[in-house]
Chain A
Amino acid sequence: MECSRNGAQWAVVEGSRAVARAVALCRPGVISAYPITPQTHIVEDLAQMVADGELEAEFLRVDSEFSAASVVYGAAAAGVRSYTASSSQGLLLMTEVLYNMAGTRLPVVIGAANRTLSAPISIQPDQQDTISLRDSGIIQLYVENPQEAHDTHIQAFRLAEDPQVLLPVMVCMDGWLVTHTFEPVCLLTQDQVDAFLPPYRPVHCLDPASPLTYGSFADDDKLMEFRYMVAKAQEEALRKIEETAETFRQAFGRYHGGLIDSYWVEDARIIILAMGSVVGTIREGIDLLREEGKQVGLIKVRSYRPFPAQRIRNLVRQAEVLAVLDNNISLGAYGALCCDVAHSLINDPFRPAILPCIVGLGGREITVNSVRNIVQRAELVARERPSVVEPWWVDLRPELI
């Protein structure tokens, strides 16, 4: 990976530190948060930078995540670049405000350190928390490692504030696995980020000299049109996410995928589709399986909202089986990612069979061996072509039940 342009330097840092550094480089005017594990180090770092005078921003430590989201909502409405971060129950407590943020088209960036939801209580990672926010209108980008977390936060502000988009962007990173892992990260410099990310120019903002109403009322004659406008902005974001990733590549030489990233898909008979840090393990697994002559590939979904249906469709048509890894479960139905993938392919006569896999709930480790088992199961599906494939709970411990 490249890290040499204009003074950017490698540093061995914790994922949270890489994120905090990226946020600081974006020069936010307001940061507000309520600490929650495993997000804590991100805002701790930012608070320290503000206290040390390294970062010129208002840091508001508030009494709950609901307040934190409300503070950044207000700040963004006043035309200030704003950031918050949370996890798990904290994200749920923010939920009402987050829907409003998207509906009011406020370009806040939210760091989400993925952690499962209660009950039972646990601080281990899975994507249940952010998946539960998928319908809010917020853009969701899922990252693989600390470097991508660093880079994506910088892309996120540019994307959120694009006048054609104007939506909150949530950068989702697996708690512990990304937030607390120390890795070499190429940290960008202030000059680099200043050149990539122009100052925030709000389309409209609160100003006593020119009063505006935020949070106004829309009855049955208009609300549907407002929803449609958000849906169109999400559609526009499909293009902008790829454009932003490409501009980033040109500026800094690094690319983690646009809407998706792929690995060994061209001739793959079996494709594993996943998002988050598990993607790194899958890459490893594919390297091993390829050595054994197995035609296995990977699609990493980087943008979950907007959902890259077209991109996925184009890549999977030649495959026999698509194993979709859901690090969440819509209880009573299926994994959320699998539902979206299935919908993307439903009218395509050349679609592959789908193997829905529920993986890693509550931090259950997904190893290279899990990947090997998934591929084995996919081979079975390829041979037998059953018309129904129920979700498979990978590495479940039936002896406990």
Chain B
Amino acid sequence: MKLTIGAVCGPGGSRTNRTGAWRSLRPRLKAEACNGCSLCSLFCPDGCVFPEGEVFSIDYTYCKGCGICAKECPSGAIEMVPEEK
């Protein structure tokens, strides 16, 4: 990818910034507890939570681990666990 003058970029340009590396807590979805309400997907500020089949999938390439999805989930189906490598 070539850099643009003044870092001005078109739609989707933020995909070059793989913000998943910022994460210290990782959201983990417990599929059996999910009621499919999609609040997690609606509230994710980075569009990293999206529907997949009956439940939801999380894109760990970009998820910063902010925990909003876990906070919003009414059925406690998402827990934040320490990121370990």
Which A residues are closer than 8 A to B by beta carbons? Answer: 103-106, 166, 203-204, 210-219, 222, 225-226, 229
> CB-CB < 8 A to A218: which residues of B?
7, 17
Judging by beta carbons under 8 Å apart, are B14 and A203 in contact? no
A225 and B13 contact, Cβ closer than 8 Å, known pairs A204-B8, A213-B8: no
Judging by beta carbons under 8 Å apart, are B17 and A219 in contact? yes
By beta carbon, the residue of chain B nearest A230 is: B6
What is the 8 Å Cβ interface bit string for chain B, positions 1-33, against chain A (1 contact, 0 not)? 001011111110110010000000000000000
A204 to B13, CA, bound (A): 15
Judging by beta carbons under 8 Å apart, are A217 and B6 in contact? no
B10 to chain A, nearest CB (A): 6
Q: Which of A106, A166, A211, A222 contacts B10 (CB 8 A)?
A: A211
A213 to B8, CA, bound (A): 6
Judging by beta carbons under 8 Å apart, are B14 and A216 in contact? yes
Judging by beta carbons under 8 Å apart, are B6 and A214 in contact? yes
Judging by beta carbons under 8 Å apart, are A104 and B6 in contact? yes
By beta carbon, the residue of chain B nearest A210 is: B10
Judging by beta carbons under 8 Å apart, are B5 and A212 in contact? no
A226 to B1, CA, bound (A): 13
The interface size of chain B toward A, counting residues with CB under 8 Å, comes to 11
A166 and B8 contact, Cβ closer than 8 Å, known pairs A213-B14, A216-B14: no
A216 to B4, CA, bound (A): 11
Question: Apart from A103-B7, A218-B17, what 18 extra A-B contacts exist at CB < 8 Å?
Answer: A103-B6, A104-B6, A105-B6, A106-B6, A203-B5, A204-B8, A211-B11, A212-B10, A213-B8, A213-B10, A213-B14, A214-B6, A216-B7, A217-B17, A222-B3, A226-B7, A229-B3, A229-B5
> CB-CB < 8 A to A103: which residues of B?
6-7
A219 to B14, CA, bound (A): 11
A56 to B14, CA, bound (A): 38
A210 to B3, CA, bound (A): 19
> CB-CB < 8 A to B9: which residues of A?
212-213, 216
Judging by beta carbons under 8 Å apart, are B6 and A225 in contact? no
> CB-CB < 8 A to A225: which residues of B?
3
> CB-CB < 8 A to B8: which residues of A?
104-105, 204, 212-214, 216
B8 to chain A, nearest CB (A): 5
> CB-CB < 8 A to A214: which residues of B?
6, 8
B17 to chain A, nearest CB (A): 6
By beta carbon, the residue of chain A nearest B7 is: A216
> CB-CB < 8 A to A104: which residues of B?
6-8
A139 to chain B, nearest CB (A): 15
Ordered nearest first, which 8 A-B pairs have the shortest CB separation?
Answer: A105-B6, A104-B6, A216-B7, A105-B5, A213-B9, A204-B8, A212-B8, A216-B9
> CB-CB < 8 A to A213: which residues of B?
8-11, 13-14
> CB-CB < 8 A to B14: which residues of A?
213, 216-217
By beta carbon, the residue of chain B nearest A104 is: B6
Judging by beta carbons under 8 Å apart, are A226 and B3 in contact? yes
> CB-CB < 8 A to B6: which residues of A?
103-106, 166, 214
A214 to B5, CA, bound (A): 11
> CB-CB < 8 A to A210: which residues of B?
10
> CB-CB < 8 A to B10: which residues of A?
210-213
A219 to B17, CA, bound (A): 7
B83 to chain A, nearest CB (A): 18
